[in-house]
Amino acid sequence: MTATSAVSVTPVGTPHRRGSLGPVGLVLAGGVSVQFGGALAVTLMPRAGALGVVALRLAVAALVLLAVCRPRLRGHSRTDWVTVIVFGAVLASMNGLFYQSVDRIPLGPAVTLEVLGPLALSVAASRRAVNLLWAGLALAGVFLLGGGGFGDLDPVGVAFALGAGAMWAAYIVFSARTGRRFPQADGLALAMAVGALLFLPLGLAESGTKLLDPVTLGLGASVALLSSVLPYTLELLALRRLPAPTFAILMSLEPAIASAAGFLLLGQTLSLVEAAAIALVIGASMGAVRTQVRQSRAPVPEA
């Protein structure tokens, strides 16, 4: 059954508003968590390095999720295991590329460039013309938030950010597939373990025994909870009920949430241009939500 056909089999009597807005709330909560976790990660990078932070984040998140979920290792098909292994590789790549990016360019432009991946996915996957409008509006806001251009940035950092965006789009796809094949957050726990095993050698090669420092471990655990465990679990649950195009457009809120986190935690103020950019992105996201609500309320044609 495709994601589109799954939308049409909502049980009779299910409140449409609750079914539509519930997943949106999960996505937004995950976005807030991951951005505040990212702010904490920036303070940790001088102690453990970019690759070391990613290794700690993935390893701690994997241990927590495996302990909480206790996923079954038997009874899964070969396709199930391929899906979860690819999902784990995508998780590791997405995190590694992003932290390499913020090690070279400022956080705001890095998040802005990364968001282009989900936006591209929303355009490619959309089957309604109105979603192209929301994607275009969000894209305009993203570029405005980035100052209208990225010519003064380190090209290697820009490349890493764009690569992270591509992995973010792949994350959306494989998170949804994993959520359909594994109960609760079992698939996420297994994928996180795969990602941690893939990335741990890189983290050890860069940071070595620095990763064993108690303060570093404590901060790394906090980053893992805020940036991995909580947001990925919320997003995985949301993707079971939210179409990928709508989810992808909602991801354009990340630069706005990052700006809010910067203001609250770092005292950074917004210019008029940045405020206008955030307004465009929020408007696009609200439009995507309204489109989803109307689609869920539309009567299903009789066979």
Query: Where are the alpha helices (H) located in 11-126, listed in sequence order?
Result: 16-48, 50-69, 78-102, 107-125
pLDDT in tens, 139-166: 787 777 666 655 567 888 889 988 999 9
User: What is the Cα–Cα distance from 163 to 120, expressed in whole angstroms?
Assistant: 13
pLDDT in tens, 207-241: 888 888 888 888 888 888 888 788 877 877 787 77
User: What is the Cα–Cα distance from 211 to 178, expressed in whole angstroms?
Assistant: 30
Confidence of residue 96 (pLDDT cuts 50, 70, 90): very high
Centroid of chain to Cα 295: 24
Q: For the whole model, what pTM was predicted?
A: 0.73
**Percent of the chain having pLDDT more than 90?**
13
Burial of 214 (C-beta count, 10 Å sphere; 0-12/13-18/19+)? exposed
Confidence of residue 278 (pLDDT cuts 50, 70, 90): confident
pLDDT value of position 182 = 85
Confidence of residue 127 (pLDDT cuts 50, 70, 90): low
**Which residue shows structure tokens 């282009």?**
116
pLDDT value of position 50 = 86
pLDDT value of position 83 = 92
Among residues 233, 199, 186, 201, the alpha carbon closest in space to that of 81 is found at 186
Break the chain into its structural domains and give their ranges.
Answer: 16-126+150-241
